[in-house]
Structure 1
Amino acid sequence: MPPSTERLERVRQLVGEMLIYCFVVVLATGAFLAFHFTPSGQEVPYDGAYRPLHGVMMSAAYESTLHISFDVRGGLLMRQLHLTSSTLFLLGAVIWVMLGQFRYAPAWLGLGLTVLSAVSGYGSVDDWLSGTVLGGIPIVVWYGLHLLAALALIVTLIVSSRREAARRPRTPGFVVLTIALTALVFLWR
């Protein structure tokens, strides 16, 4: 393999490792949010801390999202971290596919699962998709699809990472570099 191709493969491996660390943040924030989320389309009146919406009828899913944002300690921060890490993950998955020169099936599967997880995440909150054709799908289905896509995605990432590590073993310096670069990406503003 030519040296330039070898470097490109190593950079691809680096981005793949960063995706795993980024996904850990997505999973941790998602687990926190799941404890406070109600995946239901049942109409309920809002009675939370945001006064202008008091008495407004909305889905229980959207009401629980507002509850997380305004009433749960650290809830808005967790929602923002979840969105930011998910967005970074999607961008990283696109870069990962492009670095593989579009030839790796796990990368395509990972990118597809990332997009599916993002769309189903929005569908489960009953926010953007409300009032559209996709808004007719029950919220519980969106939520289940979101969780299944996330689980399939982590399996895809781990399998791909293990295959790449078998070809090009990780060194302690490589692991430190990926963790440092992932932290830098999160802290970049």
Structure 2
Amino acid sequence: MDRARQLLGEMLIGCFVIVLLSGGFLAFFYTPSGGVVPYTGSYEPLRGVPMSAAYHSVLDLGFEVRGGLFLRRLHHSASVLLGVGTAVWALLGRFRYAFAVLGLIVLGGLAGYGAVDDLLSGTVLGRVPIPVWYGLHLLAALAVGAALVISSRREAARNPRTLPFVALSIGLTLLVVFGL
């Protein structure tokens, strides 16, 4: 059971790396602003519709940046797997901070939706400024990454990794993330 839990922990780190890399790419095209601008992109039915600059940048990312929609979907699916995997990981073992990490993942996901100004717009949470959501999203991601790496190092000290084990964890992570 300890080896299965360690494998899941390694897969979670793999998911986190995918989230980190895809989020880094997405950040280059993202505008964290709540200012209202008219849509000027290539999607004709929305042309001229007023929206936040953050949402406009996300639409541009999806419609006009090569591979942008794929990376946005990859970021989302790896984030969901990270949350579900952390819940399973917490149920399997002794990691005493697992529920705190799971809470950070949920907070990071909520902040991600708030930063895009997508699902929270028009709600009470939609009144929080977009740069605050974006900063919260980044801080939660860094905290989750630090907790996963520290826990993985502790488990590896108790039960050392082997090359086949590392190859299996990387292969399973890629299979699960790209299989969705």
Please classify the TM superposition score into its range, dividing by the shorter chain length: over 0.9
- 1:10 Cα shift? 1.4
The answer (yes or no) to whether the contact 2:7–2:169 under 8 Å persists in 1 is yes
Where does residue 69 of structure 1 map in the other structure?
62
Matched, 1:55 2:48: yes
- 1:88 Cα shift? 1.2
Match of 1:107 among 93, 98, 103: 98
- 1:106 Cα shift? 2.7
Give the secondary structure class of the aligned counterpart of 2:142: helix
Matched, 1:183 2:170: no
**RCO (CA 8 Å, sep 6+): is it higher in 1 or 2?**
2
Provide the rounded CA distance (Å) in 2 between the counterparts of 1:62 and 1:164: 41
Provide the rounded CA distance (Å) in 2 between the counterparts of 1:36 and 1:187: 23
Where does residue 10 of structure 1 map in the other structure?
3
Map residues 158-169 of structure 1 onto 2, 5 A cutoff: 158-169=149-160
Q: Which has the larger radius of gyration?
A: 1
Give the aligned length. Answer: 180
Where does residue 75 of structure 2 map in the other structure?
82
User: What is the TM-score of this pair, normalised by structure 1?
Assistant: 0.92
The answer (yes or no) to whether the contact 1:109–1:156 under 8 Å persists in 2 is no
Unaligned runs of 5+ in 2: none
Matched, 1:116 2:107: yes
Give the secondary structure class of the aligned counterpart of 1:173: helix
Where does residue 20 of structure 2 map in the other structure?
27
Provide the rounded CA distance (Å) in 2 between the counterparts of 1:141 and 1:78: 23
The answer (yes or no) to whether the contact 2:114–2:126 under 8 Å persists in 1 is yes
Q: Greater shift after overlay, 154-163 or 178-187?
A: 178-187
Where does residue 134 of structure 1 map in the other structure?
125
- 1:89 Cα shift? 1.1
Matched AA of 1:37: Y
Unaligned runs of 5+ in 1: 1-7
Provide the rounded CA distance (Å) in 1 between the counterparts of 2:165 and 2:131: 41
The answer (yes or no) to whether the contact 1:126–1:139 under 8 Å persists in 2 is yes
Q: Percent identity?
A: 60
Provide the rounded CA distance (Å) in 1 between the counterparts of 2:135 and 2:11: 26
The answer (yes or no) to whether the contact 2:74–2:177 under 8 Å persists in 1 is no
- 1:186 Cα shift? 2.1
Q: CA RMSD in A?
A: 1.0
Deviation by residue 1:93-124 (Cα, 9 ceiling, x = unmatched): 11111111xx5223222211111110000000
Matched AA of 2:121: S
Provide the rounded CA distance (Å) in 2 between the counterparts of 1:79 and 1:187: 13
Where does residue 34 of structure 2 map in the other structure?
41
Match of 2:84 among 79, 91, 107: 91
Q: Greater shift after overlay, 108-117 or 61-70?
A: 108-117
